[in-house]
Structures are given as structure tokens and as C-alpha cells.
Structure 1
Amino acid sequence: MIQGMSDTEEPESEDERRKRLRQRRMSAHRSAERVLARPGFLGTLRERLALLERAPELYNLDQPSDMYGDGVVEALEERTAGLLGKEAAAFFPTGTMAQQVALRCWAGRTGDPAVALHALAHPEVHERHALSQVSGLRPVRVTGEPRPPTAAEVRGLDEPFGTLMLELPLRDAGFLLPSWEELTEVVEAAREREAVVHFDGARLWESTVHFGRTLAEIADLADSVYVSFYKSLDGYGGAALAGPRELVEEARAWRHRYGGTAFQQFPTALSALAGLERELPRLPSYVRHARVVAAALREGFAEAGLPWARVHPAEPHTHEFQLWLPYDADVLARAAIRTAEETGTMLFPDGWDARGPGIALTEVSVRAAGLEWTADDVREAVAGFTARLTEEMKGANGAN
């Protein structure tokens, strides 16, 4: 019998234990006085509703409410198309639906259901094979390496494809972006193969600093672009597909078939307009400060004498990046939570993902709250975290 348990109690399952740890982590994040980012989706309902307090500055609230995609939804679509330099845009409730529709439309135009994409792209990792199971498309993996695909790989793919999908940035590889030259070469390689190019730009908004180009210049390389309104802009949800007007009109028809033309969507549309107004101009400052934070993390862990710590990429391409440490994921999670509970500072609010025996990674995001942190603040927080990590390690070794 486990110590502390009565003989009538059921032992805690692994799923229950992880759920409990996650709830404790989220509670610690909400209560922490200092964090690098406070994404809106972790807020209370009251805090989320406050996002619309400035709605009168964003749209005429005396206009009729939207019905099946008109009104404020159309205003959001026009604003998005203008920012991306495309002829038109269509609002979708989810990015998964937007991209399936886009790729399905392109397959009809090219006559080829094959979609070339990275093995770590969102449809391959997070959508339960939706491209093939729902849309009748055939994913063709360009590469599985944890980096953006190269022009040589696109040219050398040993089967034809109608569409090349590029995720910018490639989240699961560390929010990586190619250089501008590499991106233009990859697009040209697809053109040489008479394929169209679609950008999975869920986080495209924060790519301008790395590329040194405007959103419209980046989007101009692709035939169509999907963007998210909540991942970086803090909206309630929603996405948009932007491209040629004829494609977008067809996408609206498929949106209806997929059940995505909701009756009223004004709260989500207004929150997206708020994100474009408030968060979009701030993103470059987040990206630049993420580089300060990343450098300070490396310095802090080196000063703490850890065997090794890897910030990936070394200079973040966006305001998000990965941190790898050579410890068990649960030990790292407990150390991060304890640091927040005992000091009021939460350096690592996201979960830790085990990537092998004794090695794990977490994602670090820098937003408005992180702009207040100096490099010294980061190094001090690392010292507090590593002290508790050492204690957790001793406890784990003692238990074994």
C-alpha cells in the first residue's frame, strides 16, 4: 500500500497525476507577480471580456450585428487582406478548417491532391490526419529534419505534387524561419515544378523582424496565406485565408459545407480587430526582447553550472523559442511551479515535453509583460529556478 493512503483509496493514475500537475502549474502562472508573457486565453472571463472595452474605437457599434459573415466579419476580412497585400480574405472559425479548404481548392485547380509539406507541419502533427481523412488530400513529406525545408529538397522530391505548404515559422522545430533568400529559393523551386505555394502563417505576424520585410512583401511570395487571430494577437479565436478573389470565393462555399459559416461571430471578429490594433504593432518589440531573454537564459544557466542548457534557436527568430535541459520533464515542471509559488516569479509557465531519457524541452514566449525584464532579472530568475531544480533532483534520487 502506498504510504499515506488508506486501503480503500485507489492509487492516482498517470493521467490524473499529470492533470493535477497541469492545474497546479496554471494556478501558479495566474498568481505569479512576474512572468515573461500573460497570454489572454489564460485569463478569467471578466478579463477576456475586457478585450472589447475599446470596441467602439474599432468598429461602429451602431451598425447591425453580423449574420453569416457580413458586417464586422467583412470588415475584418478586408483589413486582413489589406495587411497581407492579397485581393481578398475569408474568415474561418479555425485554422485547421481554413487550411483544409485552401489546400482542397488548390487541389481542384491543379488537378493534383498531393500536398508537399514538412513532417513537423501542423497538419501532420496536430490534426489527426485531417488532410487525408476529411479532405481527400495526400500529404507528401519534403523532409523530417528539424529545420525548414530547402530548395534542393523541393526540387529533388521523387513524386509530383500540386501544392507546397510552408509553415512560417515552423513551430515544432523551435519556431524556425528560413532566411529571406532561402525562402525565395524554396518558393522558386516549387514554381519550377508548376506547383502553387500556400503559407501556413498562423504566426506569420511576428516574422517581419527576421525577414526584414513587411507582411505584404512576405505574403506576396505565396499564392495563399492562412493567419491566426489568437496565437499572437490574443483574440478569442478565428483565422483567415487570404489570396486571389476567385479562390477566396470558392473557399467561402467550402466553408459553408464544412459548417464554418456561423450565424454570428461578432465577439471573435471584434477581438481580432482589437488584436490587429493593439498586439500587431507590439510584436516586433517582443521579438527583439526575446533575443535579450534568450541570451540571459544561456548566461544564467552557465553561471548556475548546469551540465548544459540549450536555447533553440540561439537567437530567436520570433518572440518564441525552445529551451532544452538534461532533466526529467516532471522534475523540471515541479521546479518551475515551486519557483513561482515561493518567489512570485514564473520563468517557465509552459509544460515540459520529454524528448528522451533525462531530457526535456519547454517553449518560452516573450510578450508585453516580458518587456519589463532586464537581462539581470532573467539571470536572477534562472538562479532561483536552478536552486529548486537541485532540490527536486535530490528528492527524486532519494525516492529512487
Structure 2
Amino acid sequence: MADTNAQVTDEGAAGDDEAWRLRRLTAWRQAGRVLSRIPQDRSLGEQLASLTADAATVTDIALPADIYGDAVVAELEQRVAGLLGTEAAAFFPTGTMAQQVALRCWAARTGDSTVALHPLAHPEMHEGGALGAVSGLRTVHPTSDPRLPTAEEIRDFPEPFGTLMLELPLRDAGFVLPTWEELEAVVAAARERDAVVHFDGARLWECATRFGRGLPEIAALADSVYVSFYKSVGGISGAALAGSASLVEEARVWRHRYGGRLFQQFPAAVAALAGLDRELPNLPAYVAHAKTVAAALAEGFTQAGTGWFRVQPEPPHTHQFQVWLPYGADELTAASVRQAEETGVVLFRRWFTPDTGAPGVAFTEVTVGQAGLEWTADDVRKALAGFLERVPRKG
């Protein structure tokens, strides 16, 4: 581990200070070796050029641009419905809006405004209590363990609920998934209670590998499914809500009421179509290689005598997983930035303090994408050694 004096070069390099944020982004964008490239790694000009190049490959650019959801936006909706095997799909500017609309529709249809979901699910962690504040919904938690609920927990939950929402994978628990058989059993248990099932499938695209099933078979378990276009497939923004034709038609009405009927959305639609073409065929390879990366990290931490660490889950269920270390988030992020600046290698990006506020513990999310397929296990171990050299020694 590096001497504590190394920290003086990063004085003020903490939190969300704008200068520090730009330094982070610059270091990671200019790095030659990364496990995955993210939109922030490209300048505005590069993103515009990419969008222009992609447009001609996914749609007829001689046709008029979209107006209030027709043209290329409608093409995207049809593509998603086809991929998921549903009757219809509707484009939404955000996944937060898509899911609020879906859950509101189900509350009206079931006559029950209670939604059962995990306390680590996105609406509970990242939406500022929007389900209750905006949509008048009430949430209950069948389990607080860092995994999806079991069939027994759903069946024996003491309170009634109209909708069971399952986030696949459960991001804040480490992108964890049940087995296919466990998922089938949980859905069946909800059906026994006359509850409908909604999948938060922001990252559903990469779940097929672990489940050993195609997207239509996975989506068929639920009454509605939300998917994201910027998570996993590299789009600009946007989401889709898929399900029966009647549900999607009702959702379009509520989308307008929530302010989601935008005048033009062709940049997001083009980027989404291009991302589906480019990334969907490669996701199984990313998922497989994530296991190699995670195993090499665990071996490297052990060889370095780091002490306590956690790769969660091990092995990963998708192409994303968490790494936990007993250090502050700021000092680990600073070490990542220094490694990128000094060696051109990015193993980890930003580190975070858990919401529980646990002192001296931080985690980061690791994503394996196209760029990561070039990394061997030895590359990972060497990069980890370089990272740990830049982490201040304790004591």
C-alpha cells in the first residue's frame, strides 16, 4: 500500500466538487485500458458523431423525424415488443416514470394500492419516495435480506398487496438474481395471492444467461416489464414499458399526464435501436467474462494480504458486480483516478459509502463490457496490484 503522504496530491479530491468531478471524468476518458466504456468517456462531439453514424444503420433517415412518439420512436416500441414477446410496448423518457405509471395502472385494476418490493429496489433507494408522494402507492417489504424474496416469503407475508415488483437483477444488493426455478416459484406464489407481477427489468437484457431462457420466456412470467435503454445497451436515455395491448394503451394516457409525451425523442430512440443491435448479441460474452474478472480480483486481494474484502456476488450473476473494501470512498476513488492518470489503466471507477453510513467501508460497481474482453486474469491481478499501491496504508 502507498504511504499516507500520497494523499496530499489529492487534497480536496473528494465528494462532488466540480473540479474534482471533471478530473475524474478526464482521467477515465483518456485511459487506454478499461473494463467498460461508458457514455461519460466520450465528448459531446464524439457522441453526436456516433449518433449520426448509427442513425442510417437503424432507420430510414430520409423519413420525417418523430412527432409525439411516431416514426422512429414507434419503430423502437415495435422492436422491444418483438424482443420481449409482448403485445405492445410504450417508450418513456425515464424508467422512473414508466414504473410509476405501470404500478399506478395495476393499483387501479386490482383495487389495491400496496406494492410488495425489496427495500433495496430502485423506487425505494433512488426515487425520493415518489411511489407514495406522486402516485399514492404504499410499499411493503417481504424480505430485507440482500436477495430477491423467496416463494415462501411471498406466500406467508402477513399483509395483502396488489402487485409484486421484482427488480431483475437487484442492483443495490450486487446485481443479484434468483435461479430460474426460484423465480418461477416466486411468481407462482404471487399468483396464489391474486397479485399481479411487474418486473423492474432495467437490466433484464443480461439476465438470460443465468436463467438459461430467452427474453420472451422471461418476460412471459410477468404481467408487465420495464426495460432501460441506457443501462447495458448503451443508449442515451429512455425506457419502455411492455405488456398487454390494453395495459400499454392505458399507460400511454398516464404517460401524458405525467409529462412524458415529449415533442421529439429521435436521438434517444436512434441510440436505443443502435444499442440493441450492438450490445444484445455480446451480453452473454460479457456475463461469462465477468466471472473471470471477479475470480481474478478475489485471488489478487488474497495474494496482496488485503485483509477483509468482498466480491458480491461471487461468481457474478450478470456482467456487473460489487467490490467492497474497508476504506473510505474518497480515498479509494482518489486511488482509482491516480492509477488512470499515471498508468492509463482503469480497474475501478468511483467508490461509494453505503446508505447505512457504515464508517470506513466502501463499495464500487464493476462492469465488464466489450473493452473488458481483452483483459486476461493476469491483467486484472496486475491492475489490482497497481491500484492497491495507491491506496494509503492504515495506521
- Give the TM-score range, shorter chain: over 0.9
CA–CA distance in structure 2, aligned partners of residues 329 and 393 of structure 1: 14
CA–CA distance in structure 2, aligned partners of residues 91 and 132 of structure 1: 23
What is aligned with 1:33? 32
Structure 2's unaligned 5+ residue stretches are 1-10
In the TM superposition, what are the counterparts of 1:116-127 in structure 2 within 5 Å?
116-127=116-127
Q: How many pairs were matched up? A: 382
RMSD: 1.6
Shift of 1:328: 2.1
Shift of 1:236: 0.8
Report the TM-score, using the length of structure 2 for normalisation.
0.93
Q: Is the 8 A contact 2:151 2:189 kept in 1?
A: yes
* Structure 1, 120-129 or 26-35: larger mean CA deviation: 26-35
Question: Quick one: which amino acid aligns to residue 375 of structure 1?
Answer: A
Q: Is the 8 A contact 1:102 1:251 kept in 2?
A: yes
CA–CA distance in structure 1, aligned partners of residues 380 and 183 of structure 2: 33
Shift of 1:48: 1.2
CA–CA distance in structure 1, aligned partners of residues 40 and 250 of structure 2: 32
Q: Is the 8 A contact 1:332 1:352 kept in 2?
A: no
SS where residue 393 of structure 1 aligns? coil
What is aligned with 1:207? 207
What is aligned with 2:3? none
Question: Quick one: which amino acid aligns to residue 299 of structure 2?
Answer: E
SS where residue 279 of structure 1 aligns? helix
CA–CA distance in structure 2, aligned partners of residues 358 and 364 of structure 1: 20
CA–CA distance in structure 2, aligned partners of residues 13 and 27 of structure 1: 14
What is aligned with 1:3? none
SS where residue 222 of structure 2 aligns? coil
What is aligned with 1:175? 175
What is aligned with 1:257? 257
Shift of 1:15: 5.3
Shift of 1:140: 1.3
| Aligned pair partner of 1:366 in 361, 365, 368 | 368
What is aligned with 2:22? 23
Q: Is the 8 A contact 1:98 1:240 kept in 2?
A: yes
Shift of 1:169: 0.2
Q: Is the 8 A contact 1:241 1:248 kept in 2?
A: yes
In the TM superposition, what are the counterparts of 1:344-359 in structure 2 within 5 Å?
344-354=344-354, 356-359=358-361
In the TM superposition, what are the counterparts of 1:228-307 in structure 2 within 5 Å?
228-307=228-307
In the TM superposition, what are the counterparts of 1:1-400 in structure 2 within 5 Å?
19-52=18-51, 53-354=53-354, 356-389=358-391, 392-393=392-393, 397=395
SS where residue 327 of structure 1 aligns? coil
Shift of 1:12: 7.0
CA–CA distance in structure 2, aligned partners of residues 295 and 13 of structure 1: 31
Shift of 1:155: 0.9
- Seen in structure 2, the aligned counterparts of structure 1 residues 12 and 317 have a Cα distance that, compared at 3 Å, is closer
Q: Is the 8 A contact 1:41 1:48 kept in 2?
A: no
Shift of 1:357: 2.4
Report the TM-score, using the length of structure 1 for normalisation.
0.92
CA–CA distance in structure 2, aligned partners of residues 212 and 87 of structure 1: 23
Shift of 1:342: 1.3
Spell out, residue by residue over 1:146-188, the C-alpha distance to the aligned partner (whole angstroms, 9 max, x if none): 1111111111111111110000000000000000011000000
- Seen in structure 2, the aligned counterparts of structure 1 residues 158 and 20 have a Cα distance that, compared at 3 Å, is farther
SS where residue 393 of structure 2 aligns? helix
Question: Quick one: which amino acid aligns to residue 336 of structure 2?
Answer: A
Question: Quick one: which amino acid aligns to residue 74 of structure 2?
Answer: E
Shift of 1:23: 3.2
